[in-house]
Structure 1
Amino acid sequence: MDTNVQSFAVANLRRRPVVIETGGFVVGFDPSTTSPYINYATPLPGAEPTAEDVAALIAAFRERGLKPRLEFAPDAAPAVQPALLAAGFTVEAVHEYLVCTPATLAVPPAGPGTPVVETPATEEDYTSVDAALSEAFAGEFTSSPEGAARLRRTQEMGGAVRFVRSPDGGCAGGAMTSAPAVGTSELAGVGTRPAHRGQGIAATVTAVLAETMFAGGAESVWLEYSGEGSRRVYERVGFRPHGTRLYISLED
């Protein structure tokens, strides 16, 4: 499964507004932001980069004033991490990822109190979702018109954005999935505003997004979790452990 997820990572980065391919790496840039979580690289499965390949990769970031950074499944390209470490990169984190298939998906039964999941329909909806996710992730990113626009593009390009409306008409919580590639799709940004936690929003939105991707032909959906609490939420709706992803970058 690592190769499948890594192949998806390659295909997904090739959707960025600016794409550079060099020395077995694909680099995706979005000129609307300098965020290292959006501007990063990933290796082709099985890549065996030389020192010169890594130097060219670093140069692609430096000439844009950006931090060289990669995200990938290390088992799909075992030679890449040693080559990056030799060039001075340091590991930020290693995250386990979970995978859901149509056979394992468990959508929470509808009933009184079950969150109602919606698709954003207006600019106000996308802005509300972006703001809610910024709050849910404790300001790791700032809500912005560019963030709302990226959510809209995700929906328009074959992915999906779903949210639960709060009593004030805004967004209580939501998430998104990228458009499928190589049979799988990444589910990301699952977040609930603090005032609305404990109501089943994350589980319901996650299940509905997975169901949406399966209805569109995806064979699997994968995600990463941030703690044991969120892992239990995802496992309840059918996600199971399958591998790890590595986050690695080069400081100035």
Structure 2
Amino acid sequence: MGTDVQSFAVANLRRRPAAVQTGGFVIGFDPGTTSPYINYATPEPGARPDGRDVAALVEAFRERGLKPRLEFAPDAAPAVEPVLRQAGFTTEAVHEYLVCTPATLTMPSMPGPAAAARPASDVAAHFVETPSTDEEYASVDAALSEAFEGMYDSSPEGVARLRRTQEGGGAVRFVRSPDGLCAGGASCSAPAVGTSEVGGVGTRPAFRGRGIASAVTAALAGTMFAQGARSVWLEYSGEGSRRVYERVGFTPQGTRLYMSLES
């Protein structure tokens, strides 16, 4: 599965507005943001870069005023980590990824006739929706910013990225809060090489523990399978979220390594 995940990462970064390829690496630059979580590189599966390739990679980031940063599945390109370390790159994190297939997907119980009797404050009684208006996309972006505790600010560029995801063959799903805004949501990139990545699953603190994350994750996976994907994968941030994903059919398959070079 590591090669599939890495091949997807390459294909997905090539979709970025200003993608760059150099020395066996693909860098997904997005001029709409300086976020290192969006502007990063990944190696092609089986890449064997040398010191000059890494220097060219670093220069591509530096000339744009960005931190050199990579995310990749090390098993799919085992020669990459040693040469990065020789150039001074260090580990930011190692994340396990989970994979779901059509055979393992378990859809959570959806509301039926009894939902009408449930209190309006119980957002789990609401259906998963697809945003369609600017206001709904903005509400999803704002909710995710709140869910991730200011890791990134809600912005017009973030709203535009969500809309591009939905309109470019991926999917954005959310659950509406009683005030008509977004209680929680997530997005999934358009499939490539038979797989797709769910990212940014987040629920506003006031609405956690009500099944929102599992509902939107399962809905996204089902949407991708209907579009022909053979698998969907994601990374989790803690044991609590891992259990949420495992309940809807995601299982551990490998790890991804995050590395960066400080100034």
Determine if the TM-score, normalized by the shorter chain, exceeds 0.5.
yes
Residue of structure 2 in register with 1:169 after alignment: 180
Residue of structure 1 in register with 2:45 after alignment: 45
Contact 2:110 2:127 (8 Å CA) reproduced: no
Contact 1:116 1:164 (8 Å CA) reproduced: yes
Residues of 2 paired with 1:9 and 1:130: CA distance? Answer: 23
User: Residue type matched to 1:249 in 2?
Assistant: S
Q: Give the superposition deviation at 1:115.
A: 3.6
TM-score in terms of structure 1 length: 0.99
Q: Give the superposition deviation at 1:20.
A: 1.1
Residue of structure 1 in register with 2:106 after alignment: 106
Contact 1:7 1:182 (8 Å CA) reproduced: yes
Residues of 2 paired with 1:230 and 1:180: CA distance? Answer: 23
Matches within 5 A, 1:239-250: 239-250=250-261
Q: Please, which of 126, 145, 153 is the counterpart of residue 156 of structure 2?
A: 145
Residue of structure 1 in register with 2:247 after alignment: 236
Kindly report the root-mean-square deviation, in angstroms, between the aligned alpha carbons of the 2 structures: 0.7
User: Residue type matched to 1:116 in 2?
Assistant: F
Q: State the percentage of identical aligned residues.
A: 77
Matches within 5 A, 1:120-159: 120-159=131-170
Match of 2:45, SS state, is coil
How many matched pairs?
252
Match of 1:12, SS state, is helix
Residues of 2 paired with 1:19 and 1:135: CA distance? Answer: 29
Residue of structure 1 in register with 2:63 after alignment: 63
Residues of 1 paired with 2:126 and 2:256: CA distance? Answer: 31
Matches within 5 A, 1:78-89: 78-89=78-89
Match of 2:94, SS state, is strand
User: Residue type matched to 2:237 in 1?
Assistant: S
Q: Give the superposition deviation at 1:27.
A: 0.8
Residues of 2 paired with 1:250 and 1:167: CA distance? Answer: 44
Matches within 5 A, 1:195-214: 195-214=206-225
Residues of 2 paired with 1:72 and 1:61: CA distance? Answer: 17
User: Residue type matched to 2:23 in 1?
Assistant: G
Q: Give the superposition deviation at 1:110.
A: 1.8
Mark the runs of 5 or more structure 2 residues left unpaired by the alignment.
116-123
The answer on 1:118 being equivalent to 2:129 is: yes
User: Hey, which bits of structure 1, 4+ residues long, moved more than 4 A?
Assistant: none
